[in-house]
Structure 1
Amino acid sequence: MTWDTGSDLKIAFVGTGAQGASIGADFIIAGLDVTFIEQWPEHVFAMRERGITVNLPSRSINANVRTLHLCQVAELRETFDIVFLVVKAYDTRWTCQLIEPILAPDGLVVGLQNGMTLDDIASVVGDERCVGAVFDMASNMFTPGVTNRQNDHDTSWFALGAVDARNRQRVERIAELLRHSGRVDVSDDIRSAKWMKLIVNAAQLVPSAILNLPFAEAVRMPGMMGVMRAAGYEAMRAAQIDGAKIVPILGMPPTKANDPERYVDEIFDEVLKTFMMPDTLATVLQDWRKGRRGEVLDINGQVVKTLEKAGQAAPVNSRIVEVALAIEKGALPAEPSNSSLLVGRGT
């Protein structure tokens, strides 16, 4: 329902790749008013012809959905009450500029993304229309119109938080919607929650992509567990320098440890246990296999930038960024032997 009148909320998902399409399909099946806005032409055509198919571990679903290409946004005369932004972190600002004219005056943009994108969203639509979010759910998409989701409802997790505290009740309403797709917490400190998730991502996403391996295999390569945890420890230092507090994520109880590195280990192990399947490919590796650039600078690069601003070094994350950018430039292949470029380096 809309915030005031009780009628149906109009919802858009902007960016309907593996994650956005999967969550959006849950909303459609729940009977919500949903529009997909997508930039991949073949994916748009496939969803118009056959709907969106989501393959889950023990079932498959298919949902018909109104689907628009990005170029059609300028043709819209309606506005949306909620826009779920599920694009790459580096696409945040321009995408917000694209959709701002179709966001209702009291509408909200929910950034379901990696990285610290809150400020980019708010810089376009304002704090009063920005909702921060963080989530953990493994999916992949290589065929237009089909997403493969490796976490069903009970092992998918979201947290939401208002940038403007006056939106707390509306964020609770959005949480109710997201519970169609997974477990949901509402956070009073979403910036800290996003930093806690970035810590996990810094440890896992880019390092495993550099090795061109599923995360579960990459972490077993000699020395890589130490590299990944060290990247996470640096990320925790960056988070705390930026003012973040240690807050529980992933549905975990509050930590009993005062040791920041111990908490990094706890969330690292929780992701490995609950959210990563044996064949789960990090989103960065999926992007590379599709010929796209990954969110290297928005994850490990954010750690480097934050620590450098404080006059501190981030040797492990700096090395990860260096190797990852070499791969993206074509100067180095992504392969398991790259572990020798990371293990024992930069520390």
Structure 2
Amino acid sequence: MPNPGTSPSSTGSPRIVFLGAGAVGGYVGGYLADAGYDVTLVDFWHDHIEAIRRDGVQLSGLSTEESQVFRPKSLHMHEIGQLTKAGPVDIAFVTMKSYDTAWVTTMIKPYLSASGYVVSLQNCINEETIAEIVGWGKTVGCIASRISVELFEPGKIRRQAPKSASGHTVFRVGEVHGRETGRVRQLVQMLSIVDTTKSTTNLWGERWSKLCHNAMRNGIAAATGLSGRQIDEYDHIRNLTLLLGAEAVQVGQALGFELEKVGKLTPDLILKASRGDAAALAEANEILVGESSGGGRGALQRPSMGQDMAKGRRTEIDEINGFVVRKGQQIGIEAPYNARLVELVKRVERGEIEASPTNIPESWAASLSAKR
């Protein structure tokens, strides 16, 4: 078995594949390719790959300097066999939806080099799924925190959060066993080209904290059709995000995870606010509203599940809010707000109702609204 602490390539120039060329995969892969890394983007959206081959990956952001065009190599999913021609893959980033993790990891496994490994650069918690296929020694985790990227047309990706924002680290790279290794340091150096990056010895705590943040906002966007900024304009919906987050925090802490900040909120502040502590509720609301009005989120930025719903794609509601519910049930903690949101999002997915802010009645967050 290869030593998981060694560099993935004896030549020092790793061969990299992104399994999923969507918002995150296309954005990160584009920057790395432009920096001279051997990058191949793989995706099953035909029009997207054809647009990349014709016009490159066209990126835009909040500043004019972010408008760039990158030209990484690309493959349709059915062309995956062509990877054999250029030699084994050293680093395979999985940047697809969580429900696609198992099959896409199985697909890339035969192409990995002896020391090659798979990096989960996804929402949700997928390292165990990956490890069941390639082994724990070939599994690395990476959280992308508040990167706010969206694939809005074939070949076109925009970012609606400030790049290299002070006081915030976008990428957090960690081993499942919590020790810093050579490959983690290599990934940190690599991803620092894209945006701020650090290594973490608390991968599971980071993962669950990101899950809490997604549980607070992704399902709400899918159910209402609102952007991240618009969510915070409704008092009762904003309060509901705190109730959702509190359930996720409780489950994560009960599971023994050392939670980090959830967005800009501490876990303790979320719990206090959800229990009706007036000062904590006022502080949490001030942070959320301030982040939106202060430019922390672009006016059009939609959390990923909201993007999926707008495109008519399956959402990750089962892998985010549903995951909180299932893990809570395993240890005897109920998560009724998350469970209710799962059912609501599925109704919108099935076409029974339209995505609308009216899907979230004020009564859902009445316990907090009454205390304002």
Q: Using structure 1 for the length normalisation, give the TM-score.
A: 0.91
Structure 1 residues 7, 173: CA separation in 2 closer, same or farther (over 3 Å shift)?
closer
**Which position in structure 1 is the counterpart of 2:277?**
none
Deviation track 1:80-135 (CA, whole Å, cap 9, x = no partner) reads: 11111110011111110011111112112111101011111111111101111111
**Structure 1 residue 201 corresponds to structure 2 residue 214:** yes
**Structure 1 residue 76 corresponds to structure 2 residue 97:** no
Deviation track 1:196-235 (CA, whole Å, cap 9, x = no partner) reads: 0111110111112211111111222131111100000000
Q: Are the counterparts in 1 of residues 170 and 195 from structure 2 also a CA contact under 8 Å? A: yes
The residue type equivalent to 2:68 in the other structure is I
Q: Are the counterparts in 2 of residues 175 and 184 from structure 1 also a CA contact under 8 Å? A: yes
- Identical aligned pairs, as a percentage? 27
- The aligned runs of 1:221-260 (5 Å cut-off) are 221-248=234-261
Q: Are the counterparts in 1 of residues 97 and 122 from structure 2 also a CA contact under 8 Å? A: yes
C-alpha distance in 2 between matches for 1:271 and 1:197: 17
Query: 2:315 is matched with which residue: 294, 299, 311?
Result: 294
Query: 1:45 is matched with which residue: 50, 55, 61?
Result: 50
Q: Using structure 2 for the length normalisation, give the TM-score.
A: 0.85
Query: 1:29 is matched with which residue: 23, 27, 34?
Result: 34
SS at match of 1:154: coil
C-alpha distance in 1 between matches for 2:350 and 2:224: 16
Structure 1 residues 119, 346: CA separation in 2 closer, same or farther (over 3 Å shift)?
farther
Query: 2:161 is matched with which residue: 151, 154, 167?
Result: 151
Q: Are the counterparts in 2 of residues 320 and 342 from structure 1 also a CA contact under 8 Å? A: no
Q: Are the counterparts in 2 of residues 138 and 275 from structure 1 also a CA contact under 8 Å? A: no
C-alpha distance in 2 between matches for 1:341 and 1:231: 15
C-alpha distance in 2 between matches for 1:122 and 1:172: 21
Q: CA deviation at 1:7?
A: 3.3
The size of the alignment, in residue pairs, is 344
The residue type equivalent to 1:97 in the other structure is T
SS at match of 1:330: coil
SS at match of 1:53: strand
Query: 2:192 is matched with which residue: 169, 179, 184?
Result: 179
C-alpha distance in 1 between matches for 2:159 and 2:200: 25
SS at match of 1:54: strand
Q: Are the counterparts in 2 of residues 35 and 65 from structure 1 also a CA contact under 8 Å? A: yes
Query: 1:190 is matched with which residue: 203, 206, 219?
Result: 203
Query: 2:71 is matched with which residue: 39, 60, 64?
Result: 64
**Which position in structure 1 is the counterpart of 2:12?**
7
C-alpha distance in 1 between matches for 2:324 and 2:106: 26
**Which position in structure 1 is the counterpart of 2:128?**
119
Deviation track 1:256-292 (CA, whole Å, cap 9, x = no partner) reads: x8666259959x7497567522221111111111110
Q: Are the counterparts in 2 of residues 202 and 235 from structure 1 also a CA contact under 8 Å? A: yes
Q: CA deviation at 1:311?
A: 1.9
Q: Are the counterparts in 2 of residues 44 and 67 from structure 1 also a CA contact under 8 Å? A: yes
**Which position in structure 1 is the counterpart of 2:340?**
319
**Structure 1 residue 310 corresponds to structure 2 residue 331:** yes
SS at match of 2:13: coil
SS at match of 1:247: coil
**Structure 1 residue 161 corresponds to structure 2 residue 174:** yes
C-alpha distance in 2 between matches for 1:169 and 1:262: 40
**Structure 1 residue 213 corresponds to structure 2 residue 226:** yes
Deviation track 1:184-207 (CA, whole Å, cap 9, x = no partner) reads: 121111011000011111011111
C-alpha distance in 2 between matches for 1:275 and 1:107: 37
Q: Are the counterparts in 2 of residues 172 and 186 from structure 1 also a CA contact under 8 Å? A: yes
**Structure 1 residue 110 corresponds to structure 2 residue 119:** yes
Q: Are the counterparts in 2 of residues 319 and 346 from structure 1 also a CA contact under 8 Å? A: no
